[in-house]
Amino acid sequence: MDKVKVGILGLGRWGMNHLEAFCSLAQAEVVAVCDHSPEKLELAGQKYGIKQLYSNVDDLILNDDIDLISVVTFESQHLEPTLKALRSGKHVLVEKPVTIRPEEAREMQTVAADSGRLLLPGHLLRFDPRYAAIKEAIQSGKVGTPVSMYMKRAREQFLFDTFKRVHTVYELMIHDIDLAIWYAGCRVKKVKAYGRTLSGSSSPEVLWANLEFENGAIAVLHSNWMTPDAAGIEIADAIEVIGQSGSAHFESSHSGLHIWDGGGRLTPDIHIHVKLHGETIGSLREQLTYICRCIAQGAEPSVISFADAVHGVEVADAIVASCEKGQEIVLGVSVQ
C-alpha cells in the first residue's frame, strides 16, 4: 500500500486538526471529509484540495476509496459510524473518549474483532515524547514498576462552557486514566472519586479520583477547569510516577514556552499540534504517522490498545458513579 486513503468525519476544531495533520503525511491521502456545515466543507475543499465533500455520513462510509475513517464527532455520536465503518471494511480511528458508555465501547471492540479491521483509540499522549519517556523508564527499570502515580490536568475556565456537555472525567481525566493504565500494565480494581461544582453544572469543575490497581499500584488523578483565563496558560499539567527503582516527573507550565506582550503572558502548547516552519508537528501527527504505518504494513498496533480504551471507559464510568454515590466502587461489581 503506497498511501493510506483517509476519510474524516467531523470538521470541528479537533477534526480540522486531524485534517491538517493527515495532509502533512507523505504516507496518507485525505480523499473525503464529512460534516453538516457547508462552510467547513467548503474550507476543507479550498484549503486542502479535498474533492469529495459529504454532508451525509453514509456517503463517507460507503466510499470504497477509503482505507481509514477518522471519527472526530461529539463523544456521544461515535458508536453508529464506528460500527458501520468497521462493517464496511474500513479501519477506524475513534477520538477520545471513544464513547461515554462502557457497553458501547465493548460493542465496538466485538465488531472490530469480527470485521478483522483495526480499531484505534485517539489517546495521543502515548506519542508525546515526555509521557513516552516515562513509559520507557518504567520498562527499562530506571523507574521500574509503578508504586504510586499522581497526574494533574488543568485547563482555562472559559473552556468549561463548551466541554461541560459531558462529565469532566470524559474530557480531561480520560487522558490520565489511559496513561495510568498504560504505566501500571494492569487493570483498575477500585475507584473512589470526588467532584466539586461552582456553577451548579452536572459536570464538576474540579474532579479527583483515587485508583487502586490489581498489582497494588495506586494513582491519584486531578482534573479541573479552574485556570483563570487571564493567566494565559493553555495547559497546566503535572505528573509524578514513583516506581520500585526510581521516579519520573514534570510540570508543563513551568518548562513550556512563555510569550510576554502588551496583553500579558501567553504559555501556548507546543507539543500536541503546532506549526514549525510552516509544517505540522506534534504528538497528533506522530500518532497518525504510527497508525498509517500499521495499516500500510498490516501490523497490529502495540503502542495503542483499544482494550485499554474499553477499560478506560469502564474506569471513567466508575468515577462518575463514585462521585454520585459518595462511595468506593469496585469494578465489575454492580452498584445499586
Confidence of residue 262 (pLDDT cuts 50, 70, 90): confident
R_g of the chain computed on alpha carbons: 20
Place of cell 476509496: 65
Confidence of residue 174 (pLDDT cuts 50, 70, 90): very high
Q: How crowded is the C-beta side of 214, counted as CA atoms within 13 Å?
A: 7
Place of cell 464496511: 88
Mean pLDDT of 49-70: 97
Mean pLDDT of 179-184: 98
What H or E segment, with its residue span, contains residue 43? helix 38-48
The string of pLDDT tens digits covering residues 199-246 is 999 999 999 999 999 999 999 999 999 999 999 899 999 999 999 999
Write b or e for each residue in 220-243: b if 16 or more Cβ atoms lie within 10 A of its Cβ, otherwise e. bbbbbbebeeeebbbbbbbbbbbb
Confidence of residue 163 (pLDDT cuts 50, 70, 90): very high
Place of cell 493527515: 22
Reported residue count of the chain is 336
The string of pLDDT tens digits covering residues 73-99 is 999 999 999 999 999 999 999 999 999
End-to-end CA distance of the chain: 51
